[in-house]
């Protein structure tokens, strides 16, 4: 078994930090795209892939939700990584001379208020660390990037503002993906999450009927995301994270009812709830 874990971005990306936090014994492998990172895990070139799903400030990572229905990988875990954005520039740069800030669109969205306060032009890039790497090469004092402290250290950049995000407590949730289906043995004392996708039939109240089984069996839905299917005349697709283990009796009953009202039900994975959820307000 390989001891590598794939992530999207270059060295210094927040996804690399997530890999190191969750799997300190695995070697992070940078990839140019989310699809490449997932492909490496799917083909066994890496043991896992660490893929960002959503951020507490900027919402879901749109591209990931487009890729999930097509992937062959299994969700075997989740990871929450605190995000502290830094405004970085080349050495000896001052706030007064900077004009532009570059980063991934998610990072720009998470710092939108502070960007506006400084009157900076925001420039979208493929990833945060890549933006930091680029300004280190350009050596232009008017250009800055939003990136991690790790990226600033790697590319020898000056941190102009730390905690540059608009909202404190900014956190990104990641899916841990594997080519191998790994389902933990059910323990009633442990908190689990089951993630799945399905397509509703094109009939009135289809979603209400499809999800009714979870309500009648006392199962909590943690999140629901909608997709448009490839055929616009068909019913919509949904991604759902459910509080519970697939082998629990109530879950089995709810899934039986879901299958009656929905098409193409696919279980993405069942995994232990991350400890970060215990810190969330009830």
What top-level class would CATH report for the domain 4-83+171-178?
Answer: alpha beta
Percentage above 70 pLDDT, the chain: 95
User: Could you read off the pLDDT of 10-60 as tens digits, one per residue?
Assistant: 999 999 999 999 999 999 999 999 999 999 999 999 999 999 999 887 788
CA gap 216, 229 in Å, rounded = 28
- Tell me how far CA of residue 218 lies from CA of 30, 88, 274, 277, in angstroms: 42, 49, 21, 20
**Every domain range in the chain assigned CATH 3.40.190.10:** 4-83+171-178, 86-162
Residues making up the chain, counted from first to last: 282
Instruction: Specify the pLDDT at position 86.
Output: 97
Q: Where are the alpha helices (DSSP H) in 68-126?
A: 105-110, 112-118
Please identify every residue annotated as catalytic.
Answer: 172, 174
Please provide the CATH number assigned to the domain covering 192-279: 3.30.70.260
Q: Are strands 86-89 and 158-162 parallel, antiparallel or unpaired?
A: antiparallel
**Is the domain 86-162 a CATH 3.30.70.20 member?**
no
Q: Are strands 86-89 and 121-124 parallel, antiparallel or unpaired?
A: unpaired
Do the beta carbons of residue 13 and residue 129 sit within 8 Å? Answer: yes
**3-state SS assignment for residue 277:** helix
**What does pLDDT average to over the chain?**
91
CA gap 190, 41 in Å, rounded = 28
Q: Could you tell me the pTM of the whole model?
A: 0.86
User: Could you read off the pLDDT of 219-266 as tens digits, one per residue?
Assistant: 999 999 887 666 555 667 899 999 999 999 999 999 999 988 888 899
For residues 114-124, give the mean pLDDT: 97
């Amino acid at each position: 078994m390989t001891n590598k874990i794939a992530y999207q971005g270059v060295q210094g990306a927040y996804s690399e930090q997530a890999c190191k936090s969750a799997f300190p014994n695995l070697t992070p492998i940078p990839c140019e795209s989310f699809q490449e990172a997932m492909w490496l895990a799917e083909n066994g070139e890496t043991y896992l892939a660490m893929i960002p799903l959503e951020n507490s400030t900027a919402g879901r990572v749109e591209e990931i939700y487009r890729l999930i229905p097509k992937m062959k990988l299994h969700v075997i875990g989740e990871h929450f990584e605190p995000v502290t954005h830094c405004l970085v520039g080349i050495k000896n740069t001052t706030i007064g001379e900077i004009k532009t800030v570059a980063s991934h669109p998610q990072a720009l969205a998470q710092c939108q208020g502070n960007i506006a306060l400084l009157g900076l032009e925001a420039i979208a890039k493929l990833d945060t660390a890549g933006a930091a790497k680029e300004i280190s090469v350009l050596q232009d004092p008017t250009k800055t990037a939003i990136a991690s402290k790790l990226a600033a250290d790697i590319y020898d950049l000056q941190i102009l503002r730390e905690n540059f995000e608009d909202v404190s407590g900014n956190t990104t949730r990641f899916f841990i993906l594997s080519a191998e289906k790994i389902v933990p043995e059910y323990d009633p004392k442990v908190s689990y999450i089951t993630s799945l996708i399905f397509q509703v039939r094109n009939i009135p109240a289809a979603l209400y009927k499809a999800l009714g089984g979870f309500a009648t069996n006392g199962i909590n839905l943690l999140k629901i995301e909608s997709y448009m299917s490839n055929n616009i005349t068909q019913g919509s697709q949904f991604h759902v994270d459910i509080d519970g283990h697939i082998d629990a009796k109530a879950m089995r009953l709810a899934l039986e009812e879901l299958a009656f009202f929905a098409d193409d039900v696919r279980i993405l994975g069942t995994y232990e709830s991350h400890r970060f959820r215990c810190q969330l307000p009830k």
